[in-house]
Amino acid sequence: MNLKEARFKTVLRYAKDLSGMTLEELAEKTGISLSQIQRYFSDEDYYPSPIKLVAICKALNTTLPIEWMLEQVKGSSPKWNGYHSVSKELSDVINQIITALEDGVITPVEKERIYKEAVEAMEALKSLLRRLEEKEGER
């Protein structure tokens, strides 16, 4: 799939189909309302917030939607070059959280470290989303 040319809803549907989840299951697993989930899959210009995007990626066990977002801004300007690592940062944090939740045991120090890394990754993603919104406003 060419992420640069694909629509967000197409990438999201592909990721969902790979997971085998229904929209209802995705809504339940993410805590996002079914109607909002349905909008992400049907509206051309409707995107989840960074927190919801991470929840969706975690539920689908993929970083593909985040990778799509990064591909949209890749090469647009040298100022974007520092943000290409956001996908990896988010993926790493998601994997750490999943591992900690699956293990069932997490020390307060480990929890604080993971939380700090997650907040930093989310701030970078929020910055990307703001820039993406600005770019769309230029059309």
pLDDT digits (tens, 9 = 90+) for 61-106: 998 888 888 777 666 554 545 555 677 777 777 777 877 777 777 7
Q: What is the pTM of this model?
A: 0.57
Q: Tell me, what's the pLDDT at 80? A: 47
Domain ranges of the chain: 8-137
d(C-alpha 124, C-alpha 90), whole Å: 9
pLDDT digits (tens, 9 = 90+) for 103-136: 777 788 888 888 888 888 778 778 777 777 776 6
d(C-alpha 14, C-alpha 11), whole Å: 5
Q: Tell me, what's the pLDDT at 13? A: 94
